[in-house]
Homo-oligomer: A and B are copies of this chain.
Amino acid sequence: MIKVSIAGATGYTGIELLRLLVKHPEVEIVTLTAESHIGKNIAEVAPSLRGHFDQTLVKLSPEVARGCDVLFLALPHTTSMQNVPELLKAGCRVIDLSADYRLKSAQVYGDWYKTPHLNPEIIKEAVYGLPELHREAIRPARLVANPGCYPTGAILALAPLMTESWVDAASIVIDSKSGVSGAGRKLSQATQFCEANESVAAYGLGEHRHTPEIEQELSGLAGKGITVSFSPHLMPMTRGLLTTAYVNLTKRVSRDELHDRYAKFYEQEPFVRVHTLGQYANTSHVSGSNLCDIGVQVDVRNQRAIVTSAIDNLMKGASSQAIQNMNLMLGIAETTGLDAPPQFP
């Protein structure tokens, strides 16, 4: 059995990792860490897990890393990069769910996160953990930077078009709608029930930190620098992330051609489902799963492609994608422990 540990086990992505890993046939959970609940049993902080775990939360240290083969970091950004060097040195492989190693440029990181990167040399070896794009690089990686939820939905929605000459890369608009769990478990006014319920609003327009991550990956696919307008919105629901992406087509492309392009691009992907024409992605059809649903349309009157993608932000947008990465790193079947159908309704 592979030994895995989780740093930051009491947040939503940590709890979700636990939910999945406890049923994963190839791993054994060794250590759980937490900042603010050290000494408590995980089930006190996550009562849903009661009876499934009987484990005490400890402090993160190199000792934790030495005791496991794979360490998941579900920590806030900047906290990750403070710890990763010594954790890697301790000998384990790391899957980092924070933003700290996603950007290939330390300067871009500094610009968007308003703090210098602490270990730019480690950035180089980190692999961006979106299996649909970087599967082969993930397998041998020592450090995988698990993508953000918004970038996962946006990149999967747009990837098939980036390698085409069909599109005007300067025209990309990404309008994303996220459930509240995307904001994490920490207390805030905006995520209080009475403030988030019956409320839809944009935030961080043109300034959200997931923007450079999307641009990095789309640019890599297109082979040229691409900037996008990325607009996140908060929705009154717990889970789910819908992305609506708009791209101008530089030539007439039929709905069937667009659909075929997507169907072919994702043909071999176990976790991407391309809808038949006329069907759009719906967050409620992927809840609790590692799936990404995609629905495409051509607005023929405006020669514009409109692509919708739906993921569960805590799953394909975070924890289950981290496990998909782990499976690849361990050389086991990519779908291991991840093939349960979505929960509906």
Copies of this chain held together in the complex: 4
B192–A52 CB distance below 8 A: no
A264 vs B181: C-alpha distance in the bound complex, in angstroms? 37
Question: How distant is the Cα of A291 from the Cα of B43 in the complex, in angstroms?
Answer: 15
A266: shortest Cβ distance to chain B, in Å? 11
Question: Whole-angstrom distance between the alpha carbons of A193 and B169 in the complex?
Answer: 37
Shortest Cβ distance from A337 into chain B, in angstroms?
10
> Given A192-B187, A193-B192, A240 and B46 touching (CB < 8 A)?
no
Kindly identify which residue among B197, B199, B240 contacts A199, using a CB–CB cutoff of 8 Å.
Answer: B240
Q: Which B residue's beta carbon lies closest to that of A18? A: B341
Partner of A192, one of B47, B185, B228: B185
Q: Say which residue of B51, B194, B302 sits within 8 Å of A238 (CB atoms).
A: B194
Q: List chain B residues, Cβ under 8 A from A297.
A: 205-206
Question: B344, A285: Cβ atoms under 8 Å?
Answer: no
User: Whole-angstrom distance from the CB of A37 to the nearest CB of chain B?
Assistant: 12
Q: Write the nearest CB–CB distance from A44 to chain B, whole angstroms.
A: 9
Convert A219-231 into 0s and 1s, putting 1 for each residue whose CB lies closer than 8 angstroms to a CB of B.
Answer: 0000000011101
Residue of B192, B198, B283, B286 near A287 (CB, 8 A) is: B198
24 contacts between A and B (CB under 8 A): A19-B344, A23-B341, A46-B344, A47-B282, A47-B285, A47-B293, A47-B344, A48-B285, A177-B200, A179-B198, A191-B192, A191-B194, A195-B345, A197-B238, A198-B287, A199-B282, A200-B240, A200-B282, A201-B281, A201-B282, A205-B299, A227-B301, A233-B242, A236-B237
